[in-house]
Amino acid sequence: MQLKYIYDGTAYTVNLTQPTNLLTLLRQENVPINAICNGNGTCGKCRVRCLGNAPEPTSNDRQALNKNELAKGWRLACSVEVNHDLEIECPPTNLKMDILTDFTKQTHSIEPLVQSHTIALNEADTDDQRDDWTRIKDALPVEAAEIDFSILPTLHDRLYSAFEKDNGKLQIDTYKNLVVAVHPVSEAKAPLGLAIDIGSTTVAAYLHDLTDGKLLEVAGITNPQRKFGADVISRISYTMDHPAGTLELQKEIVAAINKLIESICQPEDRGTIREIVITGNTVMIHFLLNLPTKNIASAPFVPVFLSPITLDAQDIGLKLNAKLTIMPGIASYVGADITAGIVACKLTEGERWSLLLDLGTNGEIVLGCKDECLACATAAGPAFEGATIRHGCSATSGAICNVNFSADPIYRTIDDKTPNGICGSGVLDIAAQLLLHGLIDETGRLLDSSEVQDQNLASRLRDINGYKELVLFGNLSDPQAITFTQKDIREIQLAKAAIRAGIEILLDEVKLNYDDIENLYIAGGFGNYLNITSAATIGLIPMELKDRTVTVGNSAGTGASHYLLSKEIRNKSQSIIPITQYIELSNRIDFMDAYMDAMLFDI
């Protein structure tokens, strides 16, 4: 039997010897299909159109697709078993996301572990028969105990090239006490360093000159692991269901980093990258290193490691002869990215308490002041990134990103394109506008059109087979209209309640009130673009802290860069770990009480 599929205007054929799940086949074919629930049939995003005889719809198909879509042959790839000849069309996937790659300038001393030294040697003679390596070691102003073996085959030639062209002057790059590069000064280039933040959704890279700390280039890419699930639990589940799953995920992220390196650095300069510092949540780091994650998914949530480690970049398949350093993490669900965020926001350096809220695919919260920190992670889910929303999408061109019911039109899209979905900031605005304009009650119930006083807004409400929704773009009778549904409101309630309850638990743990908080820092891709007023309106953050809330962009990437460039920051990062108390929320009754309270909206 055969599967024929069309993607991006090109037809492909796959011969099969046994029945196979369609989503699995498309993954094997490297078709970038959206399957953020890892094929569990709950997200409704892995849509394909069957050409010809479509298989009978499953219950998941009927839940995710309307009658018009089903009649046109649309199905969920995860629900289709290819057990006969089948021809399908895969919709185009917009992978060009609005990726957060901003950077906060370094305020600490520039002192990376990689240092450049210029030395001058005299040629060997019968009175000085020291070997080449010893002569370099003796001339260095710092202690160097070892030399990278890859240098030795060409070391002699490099020395004598320096004698011929540069009067014996050499540039020696060291990493700690290891010599990692030897060049005649006329051929030498400034050593470079790379800081990388591996997020569940995106990967960001920052290229620095290690002599002065200057930021040279920034680049970002969608995390290709996203096709195995939007959240870390979905991806862990994939590795548990597939024996080679962890290796698959490692290959995906390594390939993405290699692609970033190619885009950020010219081929002739890649050999001058001496160190890569990587941060990310604990699961992302485990996938990068091909380490098992199943113990992270269930109590007592124990990872393989959290300490900082250093290895050769080539050990995991990166195409660089450089040292790779992993930043330290705090717990299974408060990883190295949060350590980096604490550093970037100087959370443990102030006399007063401040909060750090990282709003990405996961929701981590840190409460800190000088010499003390508390941290927790909340199961907010990926709703804030549009993953569990009916017409939710990533922050791509055409995504509805801002909503104001008093404006005309009521929405704004990324790049001002025709709407094709709703990204996280738009989702938050919609929830706030529904509340402000009286379209939902305190329980989150979407009112009937007859209950709404504003007739313009009432005319946007519709009920399809008992499912109420608000039409944002399209005609009321159009089944393809972009809408916000009652279920979407519930998803936002679940997510915002988890975050808010986490904040309240941390404050209560040290008997603080809102007046005791100096700043609330919001980090992460979604956090950088949200409307702070909307966040306070729906109760995601306390209204009392609205005017003290600061968005700090990609604090993880900034912290990783600071770690790369400063021994002082490395030491501070390590000192954060023992003073940080991780609060496990899953077994706390007071968290569940706070969670239920936070489900309601303030009217």
Indicate which CATH number applies to the domain containing 262: 3.30.420.480
What is the arithmetic mean of pLDDT over 538-556?
95
Domain containing 14: what range? 2-90
Whole-number Å distance between alpha carbons of 386 and 593: 27
Instruction: Establish if 492 belongs to a structural domain.
Output: yes
| Preceding amide of 300 cis, omega within 30 | yes
Per-residue confidence at 203, pLDDT binned at 50, 70, 90? very high
Whether 95 is in a domain gets the answer no
Last residue of a domain, one of 137, 164, 184: 184
Helix ranges restricted to H, 301-454: 336-345, 424-436
Instruction: Indicate if 55 and 81 belong to the same structural domain.
Output: yes
Asked whether the predicted pLDDT for residue 143 surpasses 90, the reply is: no
Same domain, 212 and 83: no
CA 286 to chain centre: 14
pLDDT one-digit tens code per residue, 232-282:
999 999 999 999 999 999 999 999 999 999 999 988 889 999 999 999 999
Q: What is the pLDDT of residues 487-521, one digit of tens each?
A: 999 999 999 999 999 999 999 999 999 999 999 99
Helices in 441-485 by DSSP H: which ranges?
455-458
Tally of CB atoms within 10 A around 346: 15
pLDDT value at position 185? 95
Residues 305, 422 share a domain: no
pLDDT of residue 94: 52
Last residue of a domain, one of 272, 295, 326: 326
> When comparing pLDDT for 476 and 560, which is higher?
560
Give the N- to C-terminal CA distance of the chain in Å, as an integer.
59
To the nearest whole percent, how much of the chain has pLDDT over 90? 75
Q: Counting runs of H as helices and runs of E as strands, what totals does the chain give?
A: 18, 29
pLDDT at 104: 56
pLDDT of residue 93: 63
| CB of 57 closer than 8 Å to CB of 65 | yes
Contact 573, 565 (CB under 8 A): no
| Same-domain check for residues 208 and 276 | yes
- Mean pLDDT, residues 357-376 taken together: 91
Minimal CA–CA distance to 331: which of 97, 129, 70, 583? 583
Residues 499 and 552 in one domain: yes
pLDDT > 90? residue 541: yes
pLDDT-derived band at 526 (thresholds 50, 70, 90) equals: confident
Last residue of a domain, which of 153, 184, 215?
184
- Average pLDDT rounded to a whole number, residues 362-385: 88
Burial group, residue 299, by CB count within 10 angstroms (0-12, 13-18, 19+)? exposed
Q: What is the pLDDT of residue 353?
A: 98
Q: Average pLDDT in the 360-365 region?
A: 83
| Range name among 48-62, 164-178, 372-386, 448-462 with the lowest pLDDT average | 372-386
Lowest model confidence (mean pLDDT) among 286-295, 338-347, 465-474: 465-474
- pLDDT number for residue 161: 94
Q: Would the pLDDT of 82 be above 60?
A: yes
Domain total of the chain: 4
pLDDT per residue as tens digits for the range 572-587: 999 999 999 999 998 8
- 164/258 same-domain check: no
Q: Name the band, by pLDDT with cuts 50, 70 and 90, for residue 458.
A: very high
Do 232 and 179 share a structural domain? no
pLDDT confidence tier of residue 105, bands split at 50, 70 and 90: low
Residues sharing a CB contact under 8 Å with residue 279, sequence separation 6 or more, in sequence order: 195, 196, 197, 198, 326, 327, 335, 336, 337, 339, 340, 556, 557, 559, 560, 563
Mean pLDDT of the chain: 92
176 & 210 share domain: no
Please check whether residue 159 lies inside any domain of the structure. yes
Q: Are residues 397 and 316 in the same domain?
A: no
DSSP, res 333: T
Q: What CATH number is given to the structural domain containing 144?
A: 3.10.20.880
Is residue 335 in some structural domain?
no
Q: Which amino acid is at 55?
A: P
Q: How would you class 68 by CB atoms within 10 Å of its CB: exposed for 0-12, middle for 13-18, buried for 19 or more?
A: exposed
Same domain, 79 and 203: no
Mean pLDDT for 416-431 is 93
Query: In this structure, is residue 550 part of a structural domain?
Result: yes
Residue 278 belongs to a domain: yes
| Closest among 394, 377, 415, 281 to 584, alpha carbons compared | 377
Give residue 77's identity as a one-letter amino acid code.
A
Residue 405 is assigned to a structural domain of this protein = yes
Are 76 and 49 spatial neighbours (Cβ–Cβ below 8 Å)? no
Q: Domain check: are 407 and 502 in the same one? A: yes
Question: Confidence class of residue 63 from pLDDT cuts 50, 70 and 90?
Answer: confident
> What is the per-residue pLDDT for 95?
47
Q: 358 and 481: one domain?
A: yes
Structural domain includes residue 42: yes
pLDDT, residue 144, reads: 82
Q: What pLDDT, on the 0 to 100 scale, is given for residue 515?
A: 97
Length of the chain: 603
Taking every pair of Cα atoms in the chain, the longest distance, rounded to a whole number of angstroms, is: 102
